[in-house]
Amino acid sequence: MKIVISAEGAELTSNVSQRFGQSPYLLVVDTETMDFKTLENPRDTFRPGAGVRAVVFAVSEDVEAVLTGYCSPTARNQLASNGIKVITNVSGTVEEVVEKYKAGGFVQGLAIKKEEKEQVTKYINRDILVSGLRNSAKQFANILPVTVGVVLCIGLFNNFVSKEALSSIFSGNVSLDTLWGACFGSILAGNPINSYVIGAALLDNGVSLFAVTALIITWVTVGLVQLPAEIASLGLKFALLRNGLCFILAIPVAILTVMLLNFIVG
Protein backbone atom coordinates (compact mmCIF):
# COMPACT_ATOMS: atom_id res chain seq x y z
CA MET A 1 0.00 0.00 0.00
CA LYS A 2 1.05 3.62 -0.52
CA ILE A 3 0.76 6.58 1.83
CA VAL A 4 1.57 10.28 1.47
CA ILE A 5 3.61 12.09 4.11
CA SER A 6 4.28 15.83 4.22
CA ALA A 7 8.00 16.36 4.74
CA GLU A 8 10.57 19.08 5.27
CA GLY A 9 13.02 17.35 2.91
CA ALA A 10 13.09 14.94 0.00
CA GLU A 11 14.45 11.91 1.89
CA LEU A 12 13.05 9.31 4.27
CA THR A 13 15.25 10.77 7.01
CA SER A 14 13.52 14.16 6.71
CA ASN A 15 11.21 15.40 9.43
CA VAL A 16 7.46 15.44 8.91
CA SER A 17 6.19 18.87 7.91
CA GLN A 18 3.50 20.39 10.09
CA ARG A 19 1.24 21.62 7.26
CA PHE A 20 0.05 19.37 4.46
CA GLY A 21 -0.81 22.05 1.88
CA GLN A 22 2.30 24.16 2.52
CA SER A 23 4.90 21.47 3.17
CA PRO A 24 8.07 21.78 1.09
CA TYR A 25 7.81 18.18 -0.09
CA LEU A 26 5.26 15.38 -0.30
CA LEU A 27 6.59 11.83 -0.20
CA VAL A 28 4.58 8.88 -1.52
CA VAL A 29 5.96 5.83 0.27
CA ASP A 30 5.26 2.18 -0.51
CA THR A 31 5.00 0.69 2.97
CA GLU A 32 6.00 -2.79 1.76
CA THR A 33 9.13 -1.95 -0.24
CA MET A 34 9.92 1.51 1.24
CA ASP A 35 10.28 2.85 -2.30
CA PHE A 36 9.18 6.46 -2.45
CA LYS A 37 8.29 9.21 -4.89
CA THR A 38 8.80 12.91 -4.15
CA LEU A 39 6.81 15.98 -5.13
CA GLU A 40 8.27 19.43 -4.48
CA ASN A 41 5.37 21.57 -3.32
CA PRO A 42 5.13 25.24 -4.49
CA ARG A 43 4.91 26.47 -0.88
CA ASP A 44 8.02 28.72 -0.92
CA THR A 45 6.62 30.98 -3.67
CA PHE A 46 3.26 31.32 -1.89
CA ARG A 47 1.49 30.72 -5.14
CA PRO A 48 -2.26 30.08 -4.85
CA GLY A 49 -3.36 26.47 -5.33
CA ALA A 50 -0.53 24.77 -3.41
CA GLY A 51 -3.04 22.96 -1.15
CA VAL A 52 -5.17 21.89 -4.10
CA ARG A 53 -2.10 20.58 -5.90
CA ALA A 54 -1.18 18.52 -2.85
CA VAL A 55 -4.67 16.98 -2.75
CA VAL A 56 -4.61 16.23 -6.48
CA PHE A 57 -1.19 14.63 -6.11
CA ALA A 58 -2.39 12.36 -3.30
CA VAL A 59 -5.51 11.33 -5.21
CA SER A 60 -3.62 10.71 -8.46
CA GLU A 61 -1.15 8.42 -6.67
CA ASP A 62 -4.03 6.27 -5.36
CA VAL A 63 -2.78 6.34 -1.78
CA GLU A 64 -4.48 4.88 1.25
CA ALA A 65 -3.71 7.64 3.75
CA VAL A 66 -2.17 11.07 4.25
CA LEU A 67 0.01 11.64 7.32
CA THR A 68 0.89 15.18 8.36
CA GLY A 69 1.02 17.59 11.26
CA TYR A 70 -2.05 19.56 10.21
CA CYS A 71 -4.51 19.36 7.30
CA SER A 72 -7.07 22.08 6.59
CA PRO A 73 -10.76 21.09 6.77
CA THR A 74 -11.16 21.77 3.04
CA ALA A 75 -8.26 19.51 2.07
CA ARG A 76 -9.38 16.87 4.58
CA ASN A 77 -12.88 16.78 3.09
CA GLN A 78 -11.52 16.51 -0.45
CA LEU A 79 -9.23 13.66 0.52
CA ALA A 80 -11.96 11.87 2.47
CA SER A 81 -14.37 12.14 -0.45
CA ASN A 82 -11.79 10.21 -2.49
CA GLY A 83 -11.51 7.48 0.12
CA ILE A 84 -8.20 8.68 1.59
CA LYS A 85 -7.67 8.62 5.37
CA VAL A 86 -6.14 11.71 6.96
CA ILE A 87 -3.97 11.32 10.06
CA THR A 88 -2.81 14.52 11.75
CA ASN A 89 -0.63 15.50 14.73
CA VAL A 90 2.12 13.34 13.25
CA SER A 91 5.76 14.08 14.13
CA GLY A 92 9.17 12.49 13.72
CA THR A 93 11.04 11.45 10.60
CA VAL A 94 9.27 10.05 7.55
CA GLU A 95 10.87 6.65 8.08
CA GLU A 96 9.74 6.52 11.71
CA VAL A 97 6.22 7.50 10.77
CA VAL A 98 6.01 4.79 8.12
CA GLU A 99 7.17 2.13 10.57
CA LYS A 100 4.65 3.33 13.14
CA TYR A 101 1.88 3.26 10.52
CA LYS A 102 2.83 -0.29 9.49
CA ALA A 103 2.74 -1.35 13.15
CA GLY A 104 -0.78 0.04 13.54
CA GLY A 105 0.30 2.89 15.77
CA PHE A 106 -2.19 5.28 14.21
CA VAL A 107 -5.25 3.01 14.20
CA GLN A 108 -6.56 4.44 17.45
CA GLY A 109 -6.21 7.93 16.10
CA LEU A 110 -8.42 7.06 13.13
CA ALA A 111 -11.33 5.92 15.27
CA ILE A 112 -11.85 9.09 17.27
CA LYS A 113 -15.13 9.45 19.06
CA LYS A 114 -17.19 12.59 18.76
CA GLU A 115 -16.24 13.81 22.25
CA GLU A 116 -12.55 13.16 21.63
CA LYS A 117 -12.77 14.87 18.24
CA GLU A 118 -14.06 18.04 19.89
CA GLN A 119 -11.09 17.96 22.26
CA VAL A 120 -8.65 17.49 19.41
CA THR A 121 -10.02 20.54 17.58
CA LYS A 122 -9.27 22.62 20.65
CA TYR A 123 -5.65 21.47 20.77
CA ILE A 124 -3.11 23.90 19.35
CA ASN A 125 -0.05 22.26 17.89
CA ARG A 126 3.00 24.07 19.26
CA ASP A 127 5.06 23.63 16.09
CA ILE A 128 2.27 25.05 13.93
CA LEU A 129 1.86 28.02 16.28
CA VAL A 130 5.59 28.78 16.29
CA SER A 131 5.76 28.44 12.50
CA GLY A 132 2.78 30.75 12.05
CA LEU A 133 4.23 33.38 14.38
CA ARG A 134 7.59 33.19 12.61
CA ASN A 135 5.98 33.67 9.18
CA SER A 136 3.88 36.56 10.48
CA ALA A 137 7.00 38.25 11.88
CA LYS A 138 8.80 37.87 8.55
CA GLN A 139 5.87 39.37 6.63
CA PHE A 140 5.66 42.27 9.08
CA ALA A 141 9.41 42.90 8.73
CA ASN A 142 9.04 42.93 4.94
CA ILE A 143 6.22 45.50 4.89
CA LEU A 144 7.62 47.69 7.68
CA PRO A 145 10.08 49.62 5.43
CA VAL A 146 7.29 50.28 2.93
CA THR A 147 4.97 51.52 5.67
CA VAL A 148 7.64 53.82 7.09
CA GLY A 149 8.43 55.11 3.60
CA VAL A 150 4.77 55.95 2.97
CA VAL A 151 4.49 57.85 6.25
CA LEU A 152 7.69 59.79 5.54
CA CYS A 153 6.51 60.62 2.02
CA ILE A 154 3.28 62.08 3.35
CA GLY A 155 5.10 64.17 5.96
CA LEU A 156 7.80 65.44 3.60
CA PHE A 157 5.33 66.31 0.88
CA ASN A 158 3.00 68.21 3.20
CA ASN A 159 5.85 70.19 4.76
CA PHE A 160 8.08 71.00 1.82
CA VAL A 161 5.75 71.30 -1.17
CA SER A 162 3.34 74.21 -1.13
CA LYS A 163 0.19 74.60 -3.18
CA GLU A 164 1.61 77.79 -4.73
CA ALA A 165 4.70 75.94 -5.94
CA LEU A 166 2.56 73.26 -7.53
CA SER A 167 0.35 75.84 -9.22
CA SER A 168 3.39 77.47 -10.80
CA ILE A 169 4.46 74.14 -12.33
CA PHE A 170 1.12 72.56 -13.17
CA SER A 171 -0.83 75.30 -14.93
CA GLY A 172 -3.83 73.25 -16.03
CA ASN A 173 -2.63 72.69 -19.58
CA VAL A 174 -3.21 69.00 -20.33
CA SER A 175 -0.11 68.49 -22.47
CA LEU A 176 2.28 70.44 -20.24
CA ASP A 177 0.90 68.94 -17.02
CA THR A 178 1.25 65.44 -18.40
CA LEU A 179 4.80 66.18 -19.53
CA TRP A 180 5.77 67.57 -16.12
CA GLY A 181 4.18 64.58 -14.38
CA ALA A 182 6.19 62.22 -16.57
CA CYS A 183 9.38 64.17 -15.82
CA PHE A 184 8.90 64.02 -12.06
CA GLY A 185 7.99 60.33 -12.19
CA SER A 186 11.15 59.57 -14.15
CA ILE A 187 13.39 61.37 -11.66
CA LEU A 188 11.83 60.22 -8.39
CA ALA A 189 12.56 56.74 -7.08
CA GLY A 190 11.27 54.40 -4.45
CA ASN A 191 8.62 51.79 -3.82
CA PRO A 192 5.67 52.00 -6.27
CA ILE A 193 3.34 52.46 -3.30
CA ASN A 194 5.00 55.82 -2.64
CA SER A 195 3.88 57.05 -6.06
CA TYR A 196 0.26 56.52 -5.04
CA VAL A 197 0.81 58.56 -1.89
CA ILE A 198 2.41 61.42 -3.81
CA GLY A 199 -0.27 61.17 -6.50
CA ALA A 200 -3.04 61.46 -3.92
CA ALA A 201 -1.33 64.50 -2.36
CA LEU A 202 -1.03 66.13 -5.78
CA LEU A 203 -4.71 65.59 -6.49
CA ASP A 204 -5.59 67.10 -3.12
CA ASN A 205 -3.58 70.19 -4.09
CA GLY A 206 -5.40 70.67 -7.39
CA VAL A 207 -3.00 68.96 -9.79
CA SER A 208 -4.78 67.36 -12.74
CA LEU A 209 -5.32 63.63 -13.05
CA PHE A 210 -3.36 63.70 -16.33
CA ALA A 211 -0.18 64.72 -14.52
CA VAL A 212 -0.69 62.25 -11.68
CA THR A 213 -1.32 59.36 -14.08
CA ALA A 214 1.83 60.18 -16.06
CA LEU A 215 3.81 60.41 -12.82
CA ILE A 216 2.69 56.96 -11.67
CA ILE A 217 3.38 55.38 -15.08
CA THR A 218 6.91 56.73 -15.36
CA TRP A 219 7.62 56.06 -11.68
CA VAL A 220 7.35 52.32 -12.31
CA THR A 221 8.71 52.20 -15.89
CA VAL A 222 11.42 54.87 -16.08
CA GLY A 223 14.26 55.05 -13.59
CA LEU A 224 16.90 57.68 -14.05
CA VAL A 225 18.28 56.98 -10.59
CA GLN A 226 18.74 53.30 -11.42
CA LEU A 227 19.93 54.03 -14.97
CA PRO A 228 23.68 53.45 -14.24
CA ALA A 229 22.91 50.02 -12.77
CA GLU A 230 20.66 49.16 -15.71
CA ILE A 231 23.37 50.20 -18.17
CA ALA A 232 25.91 48.04 -16.38
CA SER A 233 23.58 45.05 -16.41
CA LEU A 234 21.85 45.31 -19.79
CA GLY A 235 24.03 47.63 -21.85
CA LEU A 236 23.95 51.33 -22.72
CA LYS A 237 21.90 51.08 -25.91
CA PHE A 238 19.18 48.90 -24.44
CA ALA A 239 18.87 50.92 -21.22
CA LEU A 240 18.60 54.27 -23.01
CA LEU A 241 16.18 52.92 -25.60
CA ARG A 242 13.93 51.29 -23.03
CA ASN A 243 13.78 54.30 -20.73
CA GLY A 244 13.29 56.70 -23.65
CA LEU A 245 10.42 54.71 -25.14
CA CYS A 246 8.75 54.31 -21.74
CA PHE A 247 8.97 58.07 -21.14
CA ILE A 248 7.58 58.96 -24.58
CA LEU A 249 4.77 56.42 -24.45
CA ALA A 250 3.81 57.37 -20.89
CA ILE A 251 2.42 60.73 -22.07
CA PRO A 252 -0.15 59.47 -24.63
CA VAL A 253 -0.98 56.50 -22.40
CA ALA A 254 -1.73 58.82 -19.48
CA ILE A 255 -3.89 61.11 -21.62
CA LEU A 256 -5.83 58.23 -23.17
CA THR A 257 -6.30 56.58 -19.78
CA VAL A 258 -7.81 59.69 -18.20
CA MET A 259 -9.97 60.43 -21.25
CA LEU A 260 -11.28 56.86 -21.21
CA LEU A 261 -11.96 57.10 -17.48
CA ASN A 262 -13.84 60.38 -17.94
CA PHE A 263 -15.86 58.83 -20.75
CA ILE A 264 -16.82 55.81 -18.63
CA VAL A 265 -17.63 57.88 -15.53
CA GLY A 266 -19.35 60.62 -17.50
11 and 109 belong to one structural domain: yes
Give a yes or no: residue 230 inside a domain.
yes
What pLDDT sits at residue 131? 75
- Containing structural domain, residue 251: 157-265
93 and 41 belong to one structural domain: yes
Last residue of a domain, one of 123, 147, 176: 123
Give a yes or no: residue 135 inside a domain.
no
Q: What's the CA gap between 151 and 178, in Å, rounded? A: 26
7 and 68 belong to one structural domain: yes
189 and 257 belong to one structural domain: yes
49 and 114 belong to one structural domain: yes
Give a yes or no: residue 180 inside a domain.
yes
What pLDDT sits at residue 62? 87
Digit-coded pLDDT (tens) for 63-103: 999 999 888 888 888 888 888 999 988 989 999 999 888 88
Give a yes or no: residue 130 inside a domain.
no
65 and 6 belong to one structural domain: yes
What pLDDT sits at residue 113? 41
220 and 163 belong to one structural domain: yes
Does the reported pTM lie above 0.85? no
What pLDDT sits at residue 107? 58
Buried b / exposed e along 192-209 (16+ C-beta atoms within 10 A): eebbebbbebbeebebbb
Give a yes or no: residue 148 inside a domain.
no
Instruction: Tell me how many domains the chain contains.
Output: 2
What pLDDT sits at residue 116? 43
Give a yes or no: residue 55 inside a domain.
yes
Ranges of residues in the chain whose predicted pLDDT is under 50: 44-47, 108-123
What pLDDT sits at residue 125? 61
What pLDDT sits at residue 118? 46
> Long-range pairs for 55-64 at CB < 8 Å and ≥24 separation?
55/21, 55/79, 57/4, 57/26, 57/28, 58/4, 58/26, 58/28, 58/84, 59/84, 61/2, 61/4, 61/28, 61/37, 62/2, 63/1, 63/2, 63/3, 63/4, 63/28, 64/1, 64/2, 64/3
Task: For residue 128, count other CB atoms closer than 10 A to its CB.
Answer: 14
- Name residue 150's amino acid: V
81 and 177 belong to one structural domain: no
Last residue of a domain, one of 99, 123, 147: 123
What pLDDT sits at residue 58? 85
The CATH number linked to 20 is 3.30.420.130
Give a yes or no: residue 22 inside a domain.
yes
57 and 13 belong to one structural domain: yes
Bridge partners (DSSP) of residue 16 are: 7
